Amino acid sequence: MRIKALFSFGLSLIFFFIITFIKPPIDLANAAISQVGCKLPTQSSALLSVLQKCVVPENNPDQFAWELFAFVNQAARFQEKTKQGQSTNNAIWETWADDPLTFPEKPDPSQPPQWPEKLSSPKQLRLRSKVEKSQPDADFIEFQKNQACTPENAPCEEVRRNKPAFNYIMNNDLWYTQGLTAKFQSAQKALLKGESVQDFIKFPLDSIEVKGDWVPITENQKSEFHWNYDEKGDLYGLIAMHISSKALPNWFWATFEWVDNYGRCDYIGCHDLFGVVPHNLPSKQAINQQYSPGKITPELVSLFKEHGLTESWGQEWQHYRLKGSMTDFTDSTGQPLLLGNSITEQGFVPSASCITCHSRAAVTSLGKDAFPIAGFRPFLPGVGETGSKQTVGSAEIQFPNGPLTQSYSGSPDPNWFYRGISVQNSAGVVDVQAEEILKNLQMDFVWAIPFNAKPAP
C-alpha cells in the first residue's frame, strides 16, 4: 500500500517536472492568456476587473497612451553608425520603416519596398510640412512638404510605422498612385453593388504610426532629451511625438511634448489622468510660456520599468509629458474635441483635432490627394496669436509661426466622401441619404498615403 502511494507520488513528481520544465514557458504563457482572455466572466464580482483590463483604450485613454509610449520607446537592439562614425541611440520606433522608404520617389510596382529587417539607415529628417503665406499679406497659402532639414531650419521631422502597418500598405498597393486608383475603382464597384466601403481600407489592429520632431542640441544637453544622430552625424533632441494606434476602429490618438516646450499647454491645456500630477494644466493667459513639469506618478514609473525604460535610458524619457489622448470626434453633447501639439500643430492648436483632420486622408478617383493642403480649412482666418522667438535645444524657433489656418474638428462630413449626399428636408434639417457615388476614398486615417504616394513611371 505504502509502496504504491510512494510510487504514484514519484510518478506525479516526474510528471510535474515534465510539465513545468520541459514544456516551453511560452506555451504556458499563451495558454494562460487564452484562458483568461477578454471574455466576460461568469461571476459578477469579477466583471469590473475584466473590463478594466480589457477596455483600456476607451476607458483609460491616458494609461493606454503611456503604454504605447513605453512600448515604442523601448531601447532598440540594433544601433547603426552615422557618416561621422557615431553610434545611434535608437528606440524601437526609430528602426521602423520611415516615409521615404515606404513611399519611394520612383515607385516600381514589381519591386515593392522591403521592411528594414535588421537595420534601417540613420535618420533622414525633413522639414515639418507647413502651410505658409507666400507673402505676408497674400490671400493664398502654400503648402511646403518633404524639404530637407538641417540644424539651421529645425524643427526637423520624421514619420515611421511598424511592420503590420507597413505590410498592409505593401500588400494592398497603397504605396503608389496607380495602386490607389485601382483601390478607388474597386471601392466604387462595391458601392454600386450596394456594399459598404467603410472597411475597404482597414489597417490591422496592431498597426502603429509615429511622428517625431527634433531640434539640434549640444553634447551637454543630451541628458535632457531623448537624443539621436541623423545620418550626417548631427545631434538632435526629440521635442514632440505623435502616436496613432489601430487599437480602436477610428484609431487611438496621443501626443507627447518635451516638458520645457514653450506654450506646451497653450489654448487647450494639458490633460493626463495617468502619468503626472496635477492631471490637468489649464492654458496660461499669456501664450508661449513654459509650464510646470508636475510630478510623474508611481504608476508611470513602474510602467517604464516593465518596458526597460530604466537607468540612463529611462532618464531620457522622463522629460516628456502626455499632452492628451483622443478616441472620438466629439464629446457626448456633440461639441468637437480638440487635440494638437505645440510643435507639430504649431499655428493651429486652438482648432486642431487629430481624428477629424486624419479622417480627411483620402484619395480621388485618380489616386491623388483629395485634400491637398492636408485637410486644413484654407480660407478661414487662423486663430491664435503670433508668438516670439525662443531657444529650444540649440535652435531658435518662432513660436508659433503665425496663425494661418484652422483645422476641421468634430464629426466628419459625408459630403467629403460621397456625391450629393446631404439633402435639406422641409423642416430645414439636413437629411443624410444613402448615396452610391464615391467622391473620395478614405485611407483609414493614414495621411502618409495620399500625402506621399507617387505615380509609378
Closer residue to ligand HEC (CB): 191 or 242:
242
The angle formed by the CA atoms of residues 198, 203 and 208, to the nearest 5 degrees, is 135
Closer residue to ligand HEC (CB): 294 or 336:
336
Min. distance of Cβ 406 from ligand HEC in angstroms?
8
Pairing of strands 270-271, 362-363: unpaired
Closer residue to ligand HEC (CB): 341 or 346:
341
Min. distance of Cβ 327 from ligand HEC in angstroms?
12
Number of residues assigned to the chain:
457
Min. distance of Cβ 165 from ligand HEC in angstroms?
9
SS3 243: strand
Min. distance of Cβ 407 from ligand HEC in angstroms?
4
Min. distance of Cβ 101 from ligand HEC in angstroms?
14
DSSP secondary structure code for residue 447 in this structure: T
Q: Whole-angstrom Cα distance, residue 325 to residue 61?
A: 6
Q: Whole-angstrom Cα distance, residue 137 to residue 87?
A: 46
Min. distance of Cβ 355 from ligand HEC in angstroms?
8
Q: Whole-angstrom Cα distance, residue 372 to residue 422?
A: 23
Exposure letters 160-191 (e unless 16+ CB within 10 A, then b):
bbbeebbbbbbebbbbbbebbbebbeebeeeb
Amino acid identity for residue 222 in this structure: K
Closer residue to ligand HEC (CB): 191 or 287:
287
Min. distance of Cβ 284 from ligand HEC in angstroms?
20
Contact 128, 143 (CB under 8 A): no
Residue found under cell 531640434: 215
Find all residues with CB under 8 Å of 353, minimum gap 6, and list them.
326, 329, 336, 337, 338, 339, 340, 407, 408, 409, 410
Contact 143, 374 (CB under 8 A): yes
Q: Using CB under 6 A as the criterion, which residues of the chain lie in contact with ligand HEC when the complex forms?
A: 129, 159, 209-211, 242, 244, 253, 255, 339-341, 345, 352-354, 357-358, 374-376, 407, 446-448, 451
Cell numbers of 243, please? 502616436
Query: Which residues on neighbouring strands pair with residue 257, listed in sequence order?
Result: 240, 321
Closer residue to ligand HEC (CB): 100 or 112:
100
Contact 125, 98 (CB under 8 A): no
SS3 210: strand
Closer residue to ligand HEC (CB): 207 or 288:
207
Residue found under cell 514589381: 110
Contact 325, 61 (CB under 8 A): yes
Min. distance of Cβ 339 from ligand HEC in angstroms?
4
Min. distance of Cβ 400 from ligand HEC in angstroms?
14
Min. distance of Cβ 149 from ligand HEC in angstroms?
12
| Phi, psi torsion values for 281, nearest 5 degrees | -115, 115
Min. distance of Cβ 369 from ligand HEC in angstroms?
9
Closer residue to ligand HEC (CB): 253 or 329:
253
Closer residue to ligand HEC (CB): 166 or 262:
166
Closer residue to ligand HEC (CB): 82 or 340:
340
Closer residue to ligand HEC (CB): 82 or 236:
236
Contact 445, 360 (CB under 8 A): no
Amino acid identity for residue 153 in this structure: N
Contact 454, 103 (CB under 8 A): yes
Min. distance of Cβ 52 from ligand HEC in angstroms?
25
Closer residue to ligand HEC (CB): 288 or 341:
341
Closer residue to ligand HEC (CB): 75 or 373:
373
Q: In terms of Cα–Cα distance, which of 245, 147, 174 is closest to 204? A: 245
DSSP secondary structure code for residue 86 in this structure: P
